Amino acid sequence: MIQAPDLPTWAAIIVGLLVFGGAVITLLGAAGLLRLHNFYERVHAPTLGATSGMAAILAGSALCFSVLQTRPVIHEILIALFVTLTTPVTLMLLARAAIYRDRSEANAGVPPDPESGHGQPER
C-alpha cells in the first residue's frame, strides 16, 4: 500500500477485489471481440466493460476515496451517468453503419430496409 498508506486493510481488500473484478469483466468483454463470429455479435461484447466492469471499478474508487475522506463520491456517479448515456450512442452508430453497408452490398443475413418499401419519405 504505497499509494494509499492511510487506507485500512479491510477497505484495501474490498477496493482491490472490486477494481480487479471490474478489470476482469472488462477484459472478458474485450475477449468477446475475438471470440464472437460476426460484426453484430461483436458489438455486444464491449457493453460488459461499459456496464458491470465500469460499475465495479467505480464502486472501488468510490469506496477508496470515501474511506480516505478526500472527496465525496459524486464524481463516480457522474462518470457512471455519462458512460451509460454515451456508450449506447456509439454502439448504435456502429451498428447503423454496418447495416447500411451490408444492405448496400446486398450481403446475406441482414433484414431488408423497411424504409425502402415506402418510396419517398413523407415531408
Partner 1 sequence: MIRRAIPFPLLTLALLAMWILLTGFSPGHMLFGAAIAAMVSRTMLSLRPERPTLRLGRAAVRLALIVFIDIIRSNIAVAKIILLRPPERTSGFIELSTALRSPDALAMLSIIITATPGSLWVQHDAHRHVILIHVLDLIDEQQWARLIQERYEKLLIEIFE
Which chain residues interact with partner 1 by CB under 8 A?
Answer: 25, 28-29, 31-32, 35-38, 40-41, 43-45, 47-48, 50-52, 74-75, 78, 84-85, 87-89, 91-92, 95-96, 99, 110-111, 114-115, 118, 122
- State the minimum distance, in angstroms, from the CB of residue 41 to partner 1: 5
Question: By C-alpha distance, which of 92, 91, 13, 16 is closest to 49?
Answer: 91
Q: Cβ closer to partner 1: 2 or 34? A: 34
Number of Cβ within a 10 Å radius of residue 53:
22
Residue 19 Cα to chain centre, angstroms: 15
110: Cβ–Cβ under 8 A, 6 or more apart, which residues? 99, 102, 103
Residue with smaller CB distance to partner 1, 7 or 53: 53
Report the nearest approach of partner 1 to the CB of residue 14 (Å): 19
Nearer to partner 1, 1 or 97 (CB): 97
Contact 63, 15 (CB under 8 A): yes
Least distance between partner 1 and beta carbon 122 (Å) = 8
- Quickly tell me which residue has 463470429 as its cell: 37
**CB nearer partner 1, residue 52 or residue 66:** 52
The amino acid at 48: L
